Amino acid sequence: MSGKKNKDIFLAPFSKDNPVIVQILGICSALAVTAKLEPAFVMALSVIAVTTLANFVISLLRNTIPPRIRIIVQLVVVAALVILVDQVLKAFVYDVSKQLSVFVGLIITNCIIMGRLEAFAMGNKPFPSVLDGLGSGIGYGLILIIVGFFRELLGSGTLWGFQIIPQSWYAANGGFYENNGLMILPPMALIVFGIIIWVHRSRNKELQEK
């Protein structure tokens, strides 16, 4: 974390250059896994691990990869890492792994990872590449967790599986409240993303397109 430049590389994806809400990458998996907070968190960790390690490996190999087959080499590296992550998830958090189903495997095609490999790791030294991968992964994870938080709280009344909205509020128990079923459906994830982008751009005027 030495030097201002490295710090910028690490911190830019958090807000000003966020892969999800500024570059609009990785939306597909983000819509699919954010109905609950726990899978969103696990997915975020998986992507952080893959981006960081893939950036590191590709950065080490960057001078030996022939440019014409670089995409294939990148894919092989990413695919190997994703399979490792998938096996770890299956071993330690089997339930969540079931919920995430194909979306762990689909990390291979996540645009954020390919984008970072192409745009950064192929032309930079290993240490900045690791920082860049870590930053991008965390930037993606942050948004996932924010969306997962609102979708689970409003859609299921729980957080991380724990009941937050008191049971006595529900209409079935004589209260008035009902969970918002739309929050569970993917369209609402897109709308929540839209709202986050809206808030983010109103706070960062330089991001607004003319």
By CB under 8 A, is residue 119 in contact with another protein? Answer: no
Rounded CA gap, 17 and 33, in Å? 22
User: What's the first-to-final CA gap in the chain, in angstroms?
Assistant: 35
CB of 175 to another protein, least distance (A): 11
Q: Judged by CB under 8 A, does residue 158 bind another protein?
A: no
Pairing, β 158-159 against β 162-163 = antiparallel
127 or 170, CB closer to another protein? Answer: 170
**φ, ψ at 25 (rounded to 5°):** -115, 160
Rank residues 161 and 194 by Cβ distance to another protein and give the closer one: 194
Q: Does residue 164 bind another protein (CB under 8 A)?
A: no
Q: Would you say 12 or 154 has its CB closer to another protein?
A: 154
* Binding residues for another protein, total number by CB under 8 A: 12
Among 92, 94, 169, 198, interactor with another protein by CB under 8 A: 198
Nearer CB in complex with another protein: 57/192: 192
User: Is the separation of the CB atoms in 130 and 56 below 8 Å?
Assistant: yes
- Considering only the stretches 14-22, 79-87, 142-150, 189-197, report the one whose residues sit in contact with another protein under the rule CB under 8 A: 189-197
Burial of 118 (0-12, 13-18, 19+ CB in 10 A): middle
| CA 155 – CA 174 distance, rounded (Å) | 19
Task: State the minimum distance, in angstroms, from the CB of residue 21 to another protein.
Answer: 15
H or E, element range at 163 = strand 162-163
Q: Which of 139, 141, 155 is nearest to 189 (CA)?
A: 155
Q: How far apart are CB 191 and another protein at their closest, in Å? A: 6
Q: How many angstroms separate the CA atoms of 107 and 82, rounded?
A: 7
**Of 106 and 185, CB closest to another protein:** 185
Site map (CB under 8 A) of another protein, residues 165-184, x = contact: ------x----x-x-xxxx-
180 touches 171 (CB < 8 A): no
Q: Which residues bind another protein (CB under 8 A)?
A: 171, 176, 178, 180-183, 185, 191, 194-195, 198
